[in-house]
């Protein structure tokens, strides 16, 4: 049930029984007076990292919550999922990463100059500025238009300046490893002024890391069940309404994923489920 990197929600945040998400969209609105997307909008996501020690005899896991961006222990009870999810924005600042050769198990601070971490297979580093923040740059375009991979083994960050969490012991976070075959940077961006070699960087392959909470992740209903046609069987004397149910992969969904729920995140006018 507990899959590394998968997203879960707390039933207490949802406020309804999760089985109700299997209702047709019209029936859901009738019962709860809100859409499925509106119900899920109040739910932070919990990304599973690994199991950890028990507390009071009850098993626990380490989860990165999108409200904090930091891995913390919690009991499994009350969590439901995995759920499909997506990013609703592409942040302007991306952390710059470089491949490294020294193996590493957990995120650490090396010589007060680099954050050292693994993507699960290979080691990487992020240069440190002022001893407290990761080095970032502002590329053009969206991060999800490049090759992305979600990981739960990176350093944790907070605030717009990309301040990393922890000092002697760097806390763990979750986010996207981004590999761009070519990337460009606007010299008009203030954050790019510090790079004297910006012109040399234009159009080159580059790698980045983006903490998940900066992408404003949102849960998506795990299935869409829309009422279809009604068939009339006069001999048997009953009506049969066919429901068309389409399962949605319970994983990260690219923002271009063709689904009405996804469209409603960007423009509610595209979705019939917002119409009462």
Average pLDDT over residues 20-31: 92
pLDDT at 273 over 50: no
Asked whether the predicted pLDDT for residue 8 surpasses 60, the reply is yes
For residue 122, what are the domain limits? 94-215
Pair (210, 233) in one structural domain: no
CA torsion 204-206-212-217 (nearest 10°) is 30
In angstroms, the CA 193 to CA 232 distance is 69
Q: Does 264 score more than 80 pLDDT? A: no
Please indicate, yes or no, if residue 1 is contained in any of the structural domains: no
Residue 265, pLDDT > 80, answer: no
- Domain edge (last residue) among 215, 234, 260: 215
Q: What is the pLDDT of residues 128-139, one digit of tens each?
A: 999 999 999 999
Residue 148 included in any domain: yes
Q: Is residue 71 part of a domain?
A: yes
Q: What is the pLDDT of residues 173-222, one digit of tens each?
A: 999 999 999 999 999 999 999 999 999 999 999 999 999 999 999 999 98
151 and 205 share one domain: yes
The reply to whether 208 and 257 lie within a common domain is no
pLDDT bin (cut points 50, 70, 90) of residue 13 is very high
How far is it, in rounded angstroms, from Cα 229 to Cα 206?
A: 51
Q: What's the sign of the alpha-carbon dihedral 38, 39, 40, 43? A: positive
- Residues 48 and 109 reside in one and the same domain: no
pLDDT at 223: 76
In DSSP terms, 173 is beta-bridged to 154
Render pLDDT for 34-51 as a digit per residue (tens, 0 to 9).
999 999 999 999 999 999
Q: What is the largest CA-CA distance in the chain?
A: 82
Whether residue 115 is predicted with pLDDT greater than 60 in this model: the reply is: yes
202 and 224 together in one domain: no
Distance from first CA to last CA of the chain, Å, rounded? 36
Q: Tell me the C-alpha distance between 127 and 197, whole Å.
A: 16
Q: Residue 267 pLDDT > 70, yes or no?
A: no
Structurally, the chain folds into a number of domains equal to 2
Same domain, 121 and 208: yes
Q: For residue 223, how many other CB atoms are within 10 A of its CB?
A: 15
Considering the chain, what is the average pLDDT of its residues? 88
Residues 6+ apart with CB under 8 A from 153: 49, 106, 107, 117, 118, 119, 120, 172
CA distance 265 to 41: 10
Residue 152 lies in a domain: yes
pLDDT at 58 exceeding the cut of 90: yes
256 and 166 share one domain: no
Flag whether pLDDT at 85 surpasses 60.
yes
Q: Note the pLDDT tens digit of each residue in 220-254.
A: 998 765 543 333 334 333 333 444 566 788 899 99
- What per-residue confidence (pLDDT) applies to 248? 83
Any domain includes 181: yes
Quick count: other Cβ atoms within 10 Å of Cβ 103? 9
pLDDT number for residue 128: 96
Q: Are residues 172 and 226 in the same domain?
A: no
Pairing between strand 252-253 and 85-87? parallel
């Amino acid at each position: 049930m507990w899959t590394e990197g998968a997203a879960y929600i707390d039933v207490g945040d949802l406020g309804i029984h999760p089985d109700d998400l299997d209702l047709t969209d019209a029936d859901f609105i009738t019962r709860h007076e809100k859409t499925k997307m509106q119900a899920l909008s109040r739910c932070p996501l919990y990304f599973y990292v690994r199991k950890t020690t028990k507390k009071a005899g009850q098993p626990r896991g380490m989860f990165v919550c999108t409200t904090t961006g930091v891995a913390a222990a919690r009991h499994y009870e009350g969590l439901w999922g995995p759920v499909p999810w997506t990013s609703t924005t592409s942040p302007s600042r991306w952390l710059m990463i470089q491949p490294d050769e020294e193996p590493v198990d957990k995120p650490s601070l090396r010589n007060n100059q680099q954050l050292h971490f693994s993507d699960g297979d290979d080691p990487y580093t992020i240069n440190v500025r002022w001893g407290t923040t990761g080095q970032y740059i502002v590329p053009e375009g969206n991060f999800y238009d490049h090759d992305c991979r979600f990981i739960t083994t990176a350093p944790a960050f907070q605030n717009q300046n990309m301040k990393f969490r922890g000092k002697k012991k760097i806390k763990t976070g979750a986010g996207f490893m981004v590999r761009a075959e070519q990337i460009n940077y606007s010299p008009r961006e203030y954050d790019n002024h510090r790079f004297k070699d910006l012109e040399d960087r234009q159009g080159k392959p580059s790698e980045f890391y983006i903490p998940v909470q900066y992408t404003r992740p949102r849960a998506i209903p795990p299935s869409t069940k829309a009422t279809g046609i009604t068939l009339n069987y006069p001999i048997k004397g009953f009506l049969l309404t066919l429901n068309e149910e389409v399962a949605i992969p319970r994983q990260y969904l690219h923002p271009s994923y063709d689904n009405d729920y996804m469209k409603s995140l960007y423009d509610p006018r595209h979705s019939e489920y917002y119409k009462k």
